[in-house]
Chain A
Amino acid sequence: MIGQLRDKCRRLLQDGAVQVVIGYGGASTPDGMPHPIFVRRPDDVDKLVWNDRCMSNLTTYLTRDAVKALGKPAIVVKGCDARALVVLEQECQIDRSAMHVIGMACAGVGSPRAPKCASCDVHVPALADEVIGEAPETTGPADSPYSELEEFLKKSTVERFAYWREETARCIRCYACREVCPTCYCRRCIVDKNRPTCIETSATVKANFAWHVTRAFHQAGRCTGCGECTRACPVGINMRLLNQSLARAAEEHFSYRAGTDRETPPIIGAYGLEDKESFIR
């Protein structure tokens, strides 16, 4: 797979079809974790790697000015990452025709496997210009994406509140969750608005709750479940569970899963006469 990937990227750069490849590479040790790299010369494509430690969702770079300034990109995506491309395209943040998407067939990432991989149904990326690798043999149907949430909802309200209190109390407000997220592309995040202050920057339980609940609500019907927020969190806050809750609501009430279909209008960005809520009609 890596040979194919490098050959493809070499050709794309040589032909001038793209000016930069956003891929994985550069682990300092053989078993180290690859990190995002930006390859601009055909001679450098050998720096690209592909393995089950390629965790980052690289689509978060597509909306960044410094990366956009490099020219037309080719981007390496896993199936779960590619779902963010659908959202970004629907929200007019990217021009899908102005990039080359290289999908990597993926059997799962992380050791132990990332929680999202148990419920993966996108081993082969959709929306890619080409896919490298074969669909892995699966050992059975994927788990429900909401199994962790369903387990959590068996707890009482008091227990759930205590859980979130403990989780959010650890938040140091570094905003790694926001920065890794492809769909957190606002030029000015609500938490950075200070005239007047919308959400206090203090890392208190109250303000941390406000931050995490607001972040989750802004992801309603948009989060594609790549899990980067939870992976990036230095203090291990389980944001995945909050995101799942809103994703399940979108699925239950609107039969909508973010990032799975380019043609279905996004629920937050579309108006429908058949909407269940009367206030909107």
Chain B
Amino acid sequence: MEHTAQFYLGLIPLMPLIGAVVIGLMHVMTCRGDRLPNKLYAVLACVGPVVSCIMAFQVFAILRTLPVEHRILVHNAFTWFSVGELKISMGFMADPLSALMLLFVTFIGSLIHVYSIGYMADDKTFAKFFAYMNLFLGSMLILVLGDGPVVMFVGWEGVGLCSYLLISYYNEDQSNVLAGNKAFIVNRIGDLGFVLGMAFLFWGIGANNGFDYVSLRANAHLLPPAMTLVVCLLLFVGATGKSAQIPLYVWLPDAMAGPTPVSALIHAATMVTAGVYMVARFSFLYAHVPAAGEIVAWVGILTALLSAIYGMFQDDIKKVLAYSTVSQLGYMFAGVGVAAYSAGIFHVFTHAFFKALLFLGAGSVIYAMHHEQNIWKMGGLKKKLPITYLTMLVGALALSGCPPFSGFFSKDEILFSAYANGFKGIWMIGVLVAGMTAYYTFRMIFVVFWGEPKNKSAYDHAHEPPAVMTVPLIILAVGALLAGFLNFPALFGGHQLVSQWLAPSVLDHHPHAEAATEWMAMGASVAAFIIGISIAFVKFAKGVEMPVFSGFAKFAYHKFYVDELYDFLLVQPYKTIGAMIWEHFDPDVTDGPRKATAFLYGMAGSAFKVIQTGYVRMYAIYMVIGLSLISLLISQTLN
């Protein structure tokens, strides 16, 4: 049975990758002639993810049958390369942490593939879209299943590439392509941290003891504390890129330029949580240096606050959700930062459901409104799109942390852990952000679905999307509603199944707290939720016109001009340096010695050219002068 599971580990990422290659080849070969029918591509596209999903469930089931301390399955597909101490193999590993990730990545991935069949039905390059999506899923699975940092990095870059390709998908518009470039390059900056961290980790302990997670974990104590801190912080730089945290969060809102299912799958449910996964994966390092965790937690919670502020002033439905994603990612980092790794991962898990749901819901609103994304031009849609409305409402309640929806349990666990582990400041900001989250989420719900329709003709044409799109919504809504009960707190007599499950993989720091404290923390979260939703209700439930921002609101609406600042401080200098080198330094300074040499030779040539006239009479004169001089010399010597 274990053998079967190991066999599956290699196949799980392979299935979508094969799908990507097959669909990609078929597309490239036929796209200039008659296109093959969409139905064929739709089937091919869904086979890989669904088969992977089934195998993922089996791996999970097999893992459960093993005794707790032996819940690790490793499959070495092949040795990638090996030079001296450096041996890198393509190995895949399932332990409780990666198995949990595996489950929801394949499950939600499959659902979004199905949904996309409906959403992308009119697209001219239907096949290309699914080739990219399959490639993405394969890379994400490599990232999750990789048995060491290098294999993780392969997946890490792979998902980055697919994200880039899919953000630039509507490439008729130059700004979308630029958004893709921005995402890739910002991520690449983060990757430097990852690569550096890997290099230090490798020469620190990996070179002599093996460079897979199992060996690294066993030898983590050999790494000097200062070095551990450096490695942790460098890895976190990588995480801030991929998971859009301060200061590298700027790419994610722009990434909404991609098709909406992409935003749901890549920029909400799976890829952007890779950074959180990475920190949890390396919990054996972070556990040794609390200072690193503290930095992670503070960066996370400040990102949560900042993007919640942005989220309150957006007017594009996807941008609202994008900032809420950044904000929720901030929570997750706060969780793993305060050594509540399982709480952080649990939030990754629940967030995947409700945020994928919200994005797909937004997608069906956009679909119904013929690609209108401005919330102020919608309104009153709940009558027209009842399924979308109800499912999105579930998602919104989960996101806002309304008990007993899934988001409540996971977010509360993070905030409680922060409080109990002594991070009171983080807890306070966290509660504040919870209120803001409820506010901006329901601002969106009220403006889009309540009140009067702003655009009458669009409203009249709006209709519920086909079942291929609504069924995934309903399934996700059930998940968003119920997923929280998997980690039902002990306070209510639950068993915290998820935390228990993850215990062998992550080094949680379990706070010992009174029940009263726990009730207090929970009460604060619920109060924040009620206040947030009430303000949103008062301001927006009756339907309002698009507001004109001024003062602070205007400043926040323009995202504090951070993009402009980065452009001024980083992008423009880079371009200027490039142009300077090219236009002045390279031809004048670097090539200077060569030019000078050529000039000197030329001068010498010109000097001699004067006497080389080609006239016989001139040469006769030179001869006479020469002979005279020689005669003179001889006569002088003889005398």
A binds B: no
